[in-house]
Structure 1
Amino acid sequence: MSRAVKFGPVAAVVGFLAFVEFTSGIIQGYYTPLLTDIARHLDIHDADVNWLEGSQLMLSALVVPALAKLGDMFGHKRILLVSTAVTAAASIALAFTDQFGVFLVAWALQGFYVVWLPLEIALIYSRSRDRESPAALTRRAAGFLVAALELGAIAGALSAGALADSGIPIQVLLLIPAIAVSACFFVILFGVKESPDLTGGRFDTGGLVLITLALLAFTGGLSLLRINGPADLLSWGVVLLGLLLIVPFVRYELRQADPLIDVRLFRSPALWPVFLTAGLFGVSVLGAQAPLSTFARTDPSEVGYGLGATTGETSILIGAYVLSLVVGALLFPLVTRWIAPRMALIGASLMVAAGYLLFLPFHEGYVQVLSNMIIAGIGSGALVAALPAAAAAAAPVHQTGVATGLTNSVKTVGGAVASAVFAIALIQHIGGGTGGGTAGSFSGYVTVWLVCGLTAVVAAVSLYFVPKHAFSDAAEGTEPALR
């Protein structure tokens, strides 16, 4: 069977979904070079930018399980439309306020876009399930979608930097992503067909309430830690409460015939390392982006560290990083032709670890920082594409959306934890004791690099325990060769 025929049933939908992911990339890349400008627009400290990131990650962690489950039940396209409408409304609101509280709420609601990729992967897998090699086909499609996502991020980052340097007011700059997301809604409405396999059923409202309470307590405790500092016992108590609330949620879900999240998936030898890796990966891919941007913008003549880059130079740095993610996403399905997907995932995690740990000795020049980000970016791009595809391949047929959604949910939880930790680290001893004003502390940046590197190492170790035949289309009882 030819390559073209193999892609036949999903080619059209992948093309339209690529536009959706290009728009997602614009959202993810456009704002990063503007974070310092946004902080000045809102009259907040550089470290407070992490509040924006943390609030969005918190809401994302809450909505992804529900939306992924609703996608399996009532249609992945239908939920794509709902999440896109919310994202568009929030993006429009960002351009019309300079109040930090309103901006924070709109920024959080914009996080509905994080469910797009899991729903798309579930939709593609449902269309390719009756074809030859569905797992490999899904990996290739996922790589293509992630490449579109990262190209959108490059376009967003470079255009934001160029437009900001031209002197366009920040309010006008913030309208551009809103226009892109609004167009995305109509692309989905008219270009994407619904999934062929829908489970229907009754939505698990009780499970949603319990997991929402647990996540709100956990992330709320992290927010209190940002405000009150790491020595505050009340904040730690709220964090612990959030963790303890997971217990009644798990017990409740185990009694449900059709649970919101089938916690038994976490017992699967093929899936638990994927979920753990996703959570650890969220630390760097979500939690570290704002610190990397503010480090690049920090003036070394004032505090003794940083690159002193302009908005345009920072956008080029971010653009190069995102281009490396494109390379990683496109390389992953090619690499898995010669080695098992499990080994490719381990290699990608180790590249992320190497990239961030190299920041410890090499961070003083633009080229050094760029090189580190490219190494980490190649590994990150592979993981962004591979994790939801791996979850889809290893999950039960009727749980595809839930499994792919869980990779994003735990990733956002990992990012939320990291965002809180990094915000606390960066605000300690501002300017390294040199009176650097709004600059984050150097010891905080070292913490960011060290945590990102070590969590990636732990992810690689966990993936070693995945069964060797997992995530592949090998016949039952066989394993893909490590050629």
Structure 2
Amino acid sequence: MSDAPAPTAETGTVAPPPRPHAVVAVLAFSGVVVSLMQTLVIPIVPELPRLLDAPASDAAWAVTATLLAAAVATPVMGRLGDMYGKRRMLLVSVVLLVAGSVTAALSDTLGPMLVGRVLQGLASGVIPLGISIMRDELPAERLGSATALMGASLGVGGALGLPAAALIADHLDWHALFWISAALGVVAGALVVALVPESRVRTGGRFDLVGGAGMTVGLVCLLLGISKGADWGWSSGTTLGLFAVAAAVLLVWGQWELRIPEPLVDLRSTARRQVLVTNLASIAVGFAMFAMSLVLPQMLQMPAGTGYGLGQSMLTAGLVMAPSGLVMMAVAPLSATVSRTKGPRTTLMIGALIVAAGYGLNIALMSEVWHFVLVSCVIGAGIGFTYGSMPALIMGAVPPSETAAANSFNTLMRSIGTSTASAVAGVVLAQMTTPFGSVVLPSENGFRTVLVLGAGAALLAFAVAAFIPRQRDAGSDRDPEGTVRAASGEGVAEPAAPVTRQG
């Protein structure tokens, strides 16, 4: 493809970014660095009570705190990016990642560790912000493959982070995990400053503080109930109370967002059929993706004496999962090609079917290490397709001035899916057990049940995606609602219907 300047509504032509390949590489690298934090502490979770001199139930908050912070920060950073500059907020996110990593690296007790993990979670807006920068800055013909790669970076970081973290934890002091995370964050921030331009697409206006507070309370209660319900009891007063508060607060929050002129989340945009159905499919995709991450490492590390476990180390389990991340990255260009020729709706449906096929394969093949490598690669390919298609679907239905907020909300929907998968799998594996010596372990049928649920979630994503409206070429300058993509970053020209808060 040519790097010829893309037309704009004001001047007719505008020069493309001086180094679009560098912009894509830096943003994708930043996405991988931020996604690494999701698996960063997994190798040391069993040791955290001893390392932090804290009860096991309290030490588990080192994982939960990051999840909650990420859920809140992602839509907030997206809205702030649309208002004040996406590159600026991306840099803020990276600074928070570095600050959190340094805080955790200096900690030897639970309190500072939780502060550090919360700060790391607040950096989760990097990926949707990066996708939005790509829409504003890249030539149209590069956009599809670039956003597919950026979307896949979430899975790439998670897959590569597990073996890397296990290797570091085995050979170095555990604090090195966070020092290395901080160093990677510094590199990412320096590259963003040097190579990524600031978009001129802005909405302006005031930040919705009431909406932000309401969303924070509602999401924290919802995700806390989902993630800790198995520990506290699903029928306990605490769990039911959290769900009740979440329902009440989110209902009031939704009414507030619909009433004010400059909401944190434009619910009218999210109610558009294409956005709404894509977000619903994203929940199912998030569930399907995380089920693999829960089952495969456990089965690989289960004692061989059970008859179904393979007795492998955490490092080996991580290395088995790592190729899936590379596959996600490798299929990103293919995902973009399918989206360009057949539409991202078709790409999402193909990816969901591949994920379901991977789980079906795992149900039949689960007795050798290479079986799990094959399964993780197949599921990784499917996830690469789905993660590459969803940003295109979202961007095809919202104006450039709302891209960051809309992509951030879509990322939040995937997070709700992954949290739900963790809760459901925890319940299944806790109920379907088998005795092994003096301990009780999840049974083979329990693992198979979670695999079936993962396949079912992927098939549900396929069925939901079928209701997404067909659209034109995702890489064209005109989205399916008739809005011309302003490659100059100046805003939206020639809208087919009135849109709000144009930059």
* TM-score using structure 1 length: 0.86
Match of 1:69 in 2: 79
Q: Which amino acid is 2:148 matched to? A: G
State the 4+ residue runs in structure 1 displaced beyond 6 angstroms: 4-7, 43-50, 474-479
Deviations 1:171-201 (A, max 9, x none): 3344222221132222223332211111110
Corresponding residue to 1:358 among 361, 364, 372: 361
Q: Structure 1 residue 230 and structure 2 residue 240: aligned?
A: no
Deviations 1:232-289 (A, max 9, x none): 3552342143123322111111111111111112321211111112222222334652
Q: Structure 1 residue 342 and structure 2 residue 348: aligned?
A: no
Shift of 1:35: 5.1
Distance 2:132 2:36 in 1: 22
Q: Which amino acid is 2:2 matched to? A: S
What is the total number of aligned residue pairs between the two structures?
Answer: 471
Corresponding residue to 1:120 among 130, 134, 137: 130
Stretch deviating more after TM superposition (153-162 or 373-382) = 153-162
2:217–2:246: 8 Å Cα contact kept in structure 1?
Answer: yes
Give the 3-state SS of the residue equivalent to 1:433 in structure 2. strand
Q: Structure 1 residue 2 and structure 2 residue 2: aligned?
A: yes
Unaligned runs of 5+ residues in structure 1 are: none
Corresponding residue to 2:106 among 96, 102, 106: 96
Distance 1:60 1:277 in 2: 20
How large is the RMSD of aligned CA atoms in angstroms? 3.3
Corresponding residue to 1:208 among 205, 208, 212: 212
Deviations 1:80-138 (A, max 9, x none): 1111111112222333335456534433431223211110111111224xx5xx3x532
Corresponding residue to 1:409 among 384, 403, 412: 412
Match of 2:91 in 1: 81
Match of 2:264 in 1: 260
Match of 1:239 in 2: 243
Identity of aligned residues (%): 27
1:71–1:77: 8 Å Cα contact kept in structure 2?
Answer: yes
Change (3 A) 1:54 1:328: farther
Give the 3-state SS of the residue equivalent to 1:257 in structure 2. coil
1:332–1:344: 8 Å Cα contact kept in structure 2?
Answer: yes
Q: Which amino acid is 1:62 matched to? A: V
Distance 2:336 2:162 in 1: 26
* TM-score using structure 2 length: 0.83
Give the 3-state SS of the residue equivalent to 1:78 in structure 2. helix
Corresponding residue to 2:30 among 11, 20, 35: 20
Shift of 1:41: 4.7
Q: Which amino acid is 2:365 matched to? A: F
Match of 2:146 in 1: 141
Q: How does 1:63-462 map to 2 (within 5 A)?
A: 63-100=73-110, 102-128=112-138, 134=140, 137-146=142-151, 156-165=161-170, 167-232=171-236, 234-286=238-290, 288-301=292-305, 303-428=306-431, 432-435=434-437, 437=439, 440=442, 442=444, 444-462=446-464
Q: Which amino acid is 2:461 matched to? A: A
> Taking CA–CA contacts closer than 8 Å with sequence separation of 6 or more, which of the two structures ends up with the larger relative contact order?
1
Change (3 A) 1:340 1:322: same
Deviations 1:277-314 (A, max 9, x none): 2222222334652443333222232x443321123312
Shift of 1:463: 0.9
Change (3 A) 1:459 1:93: same
Shift of 1:399: 1.2
Distance 1:86 1:52 in 2: 16
Shift of 1:441: 5.3
